């Protein structure tokens, strides 16, 4: 694995000695900043080091910051002058306090080490701000600190930057020697007690952020957050992070917290992202999206005739498969087969399809990948539709080459050809009357480049922001916006729903792959209006495998089907029975992702997930193996009251458990239980 940064001071920061500190002594050089319930930050103005306490017990120690400015590496622990100030603030998090340590030194721009504190919130935000003239930096470490030993079943999560190349989350065993880098957010926790530490960026418009967790027998444990992270296998970048330039260069705000339940911490982190970077897209207030997408089975065989027959099936055979008054019929790639004269030509057949869906009480959907060139192998001189530019002029420059991934070449999101092409395509699709759009391969727009067309843009995330804001502005409020391949955290501003993993189809392995992302990424349900598990394909798989695939989508939060309903088969018969089940529709209407019960499955998925809806507790159980398995519910792990009495119902097959919480589940199968509190 090739890590693309060259800053040795980062590696040095990671292996600093572990220090256990006693309770702080009262001295004029010590600043105490309370936050949350019984939490304090204790900053030593003499050393530039601070420690964080929970009820007088150290949770982070020997914390410092490091940054590179105009080519020089500087640490807040260096021989600098430090001055403290505090002001009241009001922002999206509410009324709070901004605590600033101002650092000054020879040949150093004014530097602010900032802490944001809000009453009632069990975390704080921290940031480094450089103030001067013509500054430049491609690496800032706002937080680098030790944590105590994590006992029990200690884990550190790898969170992917995006959901491309079938990448997986990974809850790795956190024991020395250990070194893990996670994109944007990291968590270290004991799966037994669920106590855990959460560190992550809540701002993604300028920087890519990496979270390094380290455990070494001789130096202890450490968590480091730095802005400027690139890694080919994770962020897809071939070059190091771009320089951030200006008279003010600020790191992203970084979320720091310790929680009794790491799952609560991850949900709190997701909500903090939603506050720190409010949605640019309009808020979706309509019911949970359900419907169909053509990529599940049809793919390149998509035709007008087949798509309209699917609409007929939805209208006539599964009219109750709705969460409101409608469902979406979404054309994926290859809808351009319906055009005459290319992308600048005749869209009348496509409009005819959209009108047909509406006549059946359905909502038409479409697909597009706005930041890719799929025909790059045919040369650079092809004209970009809607412009006088060629594709070669738009290709994102990566040193002496270009960024090719998934068979497509990344195009510069800041180039006028890219933006005018968006204007053409979105204008045409809106004229057709589409009510949903699936946008794909958005990660191509985050590529770090040696040169962007817009000289004010110097990082991949700045380019992503410009491209996505332009796209969303053109879309307006006509369509539900669904992201497929895309960055996990940075896309929250721009879309209503996001697919949580890469493509998934019909097998039990596909189900387990999707649920790996749900197990360790369920918290994104608080970052988006909805999270999606990709199209559900039943095909000719066994009934149990079909149940598991269907349930994997339901517990993710939405339900998009993918079978070829233009023809009859076992998939259509099962859809008529299952997709119209009132009990399942209640869960779908809730629209929120289920929470994992266990977080120690590595690159695999938890077997049990839960969600409380109203007064009922739902429990989804999956057997990914080939052989039957006996499961026994642990009431405490499920969050059930030890004194309460429940009625238990299995919803998919109607099995009755009686008075026991132990049951047997066939291989490649799933079950959904509903627990109602007895009155």
pLDDT in tens, 654-666: 876 665 677 889 9
CB 239 within 8 A of CB 246: no
- pLDDT tens, position by position, 126-135: 999 999 999 9
Handedness of CA 162, 167, 171, 176 (dihedral sign): negative
The angle subtended at Cα 481 by Cα 271 and Cα 427, nearest 5°, is 145
Considering the domain architecture, whether residues 25 and 123 belong to the same structural domain is answered as yes
Considering the domain architecture, whether residues 77 and 141 belong to the same structural domain is answered as yes
pLDDT band at 7 (very low <50, low <70, confident <90, very high): very low
SS3 18: coil
DSSP state at residue 288: P
Query: Which residue among 492, 526, 544 closes a domain?
Result: 492
Residues with Cβ within 8 Å of 401's Cβ and at least 6 positions away in sequence, in order, are 238
| Exposed/middle/buried for residue 115 (C-beta within 10 Å: 0-12, 13-18, 19+) | buried
Considering the domain architecture, whether residues 258 and 357 belong to the same structural domain is answered as no
pLDDT at site 28? 63
Mapping DSSP onto H, E and C, the string for 342-395 reads: HHHCECHHHHHHHHHHHHCCCEEEEEECCCEECCHHHCCCCECCCCCCEHHHCE
The angle subtended at Cα 649 by Cα 648 and Cα 652, nearest 5°, is 150
Mapping DSSP onto H, E and C, the string for 253-270 reads: CEEEEEECCHHHHHHHHH
Q: Length of the chain in residues, anyone? A: 679
pLDDT at site 660? 64
CA distances from 393 to 381, 423, 504, 636 (A): 9, 18, 35, 60
Considering the domain architecture, whether residues 362 and 469 belong to the same structural domain is answered as yes
DSSP state at residue 78: S
Q: Is the pLDDT of residue 576 over 90?
A: yes
Considering the domain architecture, whether residues 113 and 207 belong to the same structural domain is answered as yes
Reported as half-sphere exposure (CB side, CA atoms, 13 A), residue 178 has a value of 24
Report the run of H or E that residue 311 belongs to, with start and end.
helix 304-316
Specify if 646 maps to a domain. Answer: yes
CB 230 within 8 A of CB 4: yes
- pLDDT tens, position by position, 473-498: 999 999 999 999 999 999 999 999 99
Considering the domain architecture, whether residues 118 and 246 belong to the same structural domain is answered as yes
CA distances from 472 to 292, 420, 530 (A): 23, 14, 17
Specify if 60 maps to a domain. Answer: yes
Reported as half-sphere exposure (CB side, CA atoms, 13 A), residue 506 has a value of 15
Specify if 298 maps to a domain. Answer: no
Q: Is the pLDDT of residue 27 over 50?
A: no
Query: Which residue among 492, 516, 551 closes a domain?
Result: 492
State how far the Cα of 89 lies from the Cα of 428, in Å rounded to an integer.
45
Q: Is the pLDDT of residue 338 over 80?
A: yes
pLDDT at site 646? 79
| Exposed/middle/buried for residue 626 (C-beta within 10 Å: 0-12, 13-18, 19+) | exposed
CATH number where 618 lies: 2.60.40.1180
CATH number where 82 lies: 2.70.98.10
pLDDT at site 17? 32
CATH number where 346 lies: 3.20.20.70
Considering the domain architecture, whether residues 34 and 167 belong to the same structural domain is answered as yes
Handedness of CA 293, 297, 299, 305 (dihedral sign): negative
Query: Which residue among 276, 292, 311 closes a domain?
Result: 276
Considering the domain architecture, whether residues 75 and 148 belong to the same structural domain is answered as yes
State how far the Cα of 289 lies from the Cα of 324, in Å rounded to an integer.
9
- C-alpha gyration radius of the chain: 26
SS3 75: strand
Considering the domain architecture, whether residues 364 and 237 belong to the same structural domain is answered as no
pLDDT at site 499? 98
pLDDT band at 23 (very low <50, low <70, confident <90, very high): very low
Joined together, the tokens standing for residue 194 give 């669920």
The number of domains in the chain is 3
- pLDDT tens, position by position, 289-336: 999 999 999 999 999 999 999 999 999 999 999 998 899 999 999 999
Specify if 500 maps to a domain. Answer: no
Considering the domain architecture, whether residues 260 and 336 belong to the same structural domain is answered as no
State the average pLDDT over residues 499-503: 97
**Which phi and psi angles does 8 have, rounded to 5°?**
-65, -25
- pLDDT tens, position by position, 208-263: 999 999 999 887 899 999 999 999 999 999 999 999 999 999 999 999 999 999 99
State how far the Cα of 188 lies from the Cα of 209, in Å rounded to an integer.
17
Specify if 307 maps to a domain. Answer: no
Considering the domain architecture, whether residues 349 and 243 belong to the same structural domain is answered as no
Q: Is the pLDDT of residue 162 over 70?
A: yes
Percent of the chain with pLDDT over 90: 89
Quickly list DSSP for 229-240.
--BTTTT--SSP
pLDDT at site 659? 57
Percent of the chain with pLDDT over 70: 95
Specify if 363 maps to a domain. Answer: yes
Residue with more model confidence, 486 or 24: 486
Q: Is the pLDDT of residue 6 over 80?
A: no
pLDDT band at 676 (very low <50, low <70, confident <90, very high): confident
Residues with Cβ within 8 Å of 341's Cβ and at least 6 positions away in sequence, in order, are none
* Full domain range(s) for residue 23: 8-276
Per the listing, tokens 């627990």 go with 675
Specify if 511 maps to a domain. Answer: no
Q: Is the pLDDT of residue 13 over 50?
A: no
pLDDT at site 657? 66
State the average pLDDT over residues 460-464: 98
- pLDDT tens, position by position, 92-117: 999 999 999 999 998 899 999 999 99
Residues with Cβ within 8 Å of 499's Cβ and at least 6 positions away in sequence, in order, are 163, 482, 483, 484, 485, 486, 531, 532, 533, 534
State how far the Cα of 314 lies from the Cα of 550, in Å rounded to an integer.
17
Question: How many C-beta neighbours within 10 Å does residue 319 have?
Answer: 12
- Model's pTM, two decimal places? 0.94
**Which phi and psi angles does 253 have, rounded to 5°?**
-70, 135
Considering the domain architecture, whether residues 161 and 256 belong to the same structural domain is answered as yes
State how far the Cα of 92 lies from the Cα of 261, in Å rounded to an integer.
25
Candidates 261, 62, 257; CA nearest to 145 is 62
Specify if 330 maps to a domain. Answer: yes
């Amino acid at each position: 694995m090739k890590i693309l940064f060259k800053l040795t001071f980062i590696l040095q920061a990671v292996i600093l000695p572990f220090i256990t500190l006693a309770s702080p002594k009262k001295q004029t050089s010590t600043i105490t900043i309370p936050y949350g319930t019984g939490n304090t930050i204790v900053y030593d103005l003499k050393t530039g080091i601070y420690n964080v306490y929970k009820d007088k017990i150290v949770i982070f120690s020997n914390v410092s910051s490091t940054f590179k400015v105009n080519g020089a590496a500087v640490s807040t622990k260096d021989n600098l002058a430090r001055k403290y100030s505090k002001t009241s603030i009001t922002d999206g998090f509410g009324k709070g306090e901004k605590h600033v340590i101002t650092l000054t030194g020879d040949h150093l721009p004014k530097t602010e080490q900032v802490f944001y504190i809000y009453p009632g919130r069990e975390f704080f935000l921290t940031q480094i701000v450089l103030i001067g003239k013509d500054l430049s930096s491609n690496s800032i470490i706002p937080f680098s600190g030790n944590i105590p030993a994590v006992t029990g079943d200690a884990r550190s999560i790898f969170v992917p930057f995006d959901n491309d190349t079938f990448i997986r989350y990974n809850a790795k065993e956190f024991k020395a020697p250990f070194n893990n880098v996670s994109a944007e957010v990291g968590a270290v926790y004991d799966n037994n007690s669920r106590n855990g530490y959460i560190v992550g960026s809540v701002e993604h418009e300028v920087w890519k952020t990496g979270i390094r967790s380290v455990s070494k027998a001789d130096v202890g444990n450490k968590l480091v957050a730095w802005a400027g992270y690139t890694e080919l296998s994770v962020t897809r970048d071939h070059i190091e992070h771009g320089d951030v330039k200006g008279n003010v260069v600020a790191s992203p705000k970084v979320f720091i917290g310790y929680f009794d339940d790491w799952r609560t911490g991850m949900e709190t982190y997701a909500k903090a992202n939603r506050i720190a970077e409010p949605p640019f897209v309009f808020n979706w207030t309509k019911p949970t999206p359900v419907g169909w997408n053509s990529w599940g089975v049809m793919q390149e065989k998509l035709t007008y005739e087949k798509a309209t027959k699917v609409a007929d099936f939805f209208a006539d055979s599964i009219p109750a498969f709705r969460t409101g008054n409608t469902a979406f019929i979404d054309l994926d790639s290859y809808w351009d087969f319906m055009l005459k004269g290319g992308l600048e030509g005749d869209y009348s057949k496509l409009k005819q399809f959209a009108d047909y869906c509406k006549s059946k009480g359905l909502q038409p959907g479409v697909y597009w990948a706005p930041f890719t060139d799929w025909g790059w192998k045919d040369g650079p001189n092809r004209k970009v539709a809607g412009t006088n530019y060629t594709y070669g002029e738009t290709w994102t420059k990566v040193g002496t080459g270009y960024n090719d991934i998934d068979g497509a070449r990344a195009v510069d999101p800041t180039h006028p050809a890219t933006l005018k092409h968006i204007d053409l395509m979105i204008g045409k699709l809106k004229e057709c009357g589409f009510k949903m759009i699936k946008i794909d391969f958005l990660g191509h727009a985050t590529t770090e480049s040696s040169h962007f067309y817009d000289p004010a843009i110097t990082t991949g995330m700045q380019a992503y922001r410009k491209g996505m804001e332009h796209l969303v502005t053109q879309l307006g409020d006509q369509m539900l916006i669904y992201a497929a391949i895309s960055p996990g955290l940075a896309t929250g501003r721009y879309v209503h729903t996001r697919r949580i993993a890469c493509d998934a189809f019909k097998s039990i392995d596909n189900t387990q792959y999707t649920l790996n992302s749900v197990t360790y990424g369920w918290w994104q349900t608080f970052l988006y209006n909805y999270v999606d598990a990709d199209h559900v394909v039943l095909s000719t798989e066994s009934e149990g495998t079909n149940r598991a695939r269907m349930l994997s989508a339901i517990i993710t939060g939405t339900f998009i089907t993918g079978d070829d309903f233009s023809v009859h088969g076992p998939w259509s018969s099962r859809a008529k029975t299952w997709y119209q089940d009132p009990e399942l529709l209640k869960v779908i209407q809730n629209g929120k992702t289920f929470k994992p019960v266990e977080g120690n499955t590595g690159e695999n998925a938890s077997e049990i997930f839960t969600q409380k809806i109203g007064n009922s507790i739902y429990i989804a159980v999956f057997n990914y193996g080939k052989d039957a398995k006996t499961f026994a519910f642990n009431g405490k792990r499920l969050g059930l009251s030890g004194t309460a009495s429940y009625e238990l119902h299995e919803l998919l097959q109607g099995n009755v458990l009686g008075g026991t919480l132990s049951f047997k589940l066939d291989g490649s199968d799933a079950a959904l239980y509903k627990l109602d509190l007895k009155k």
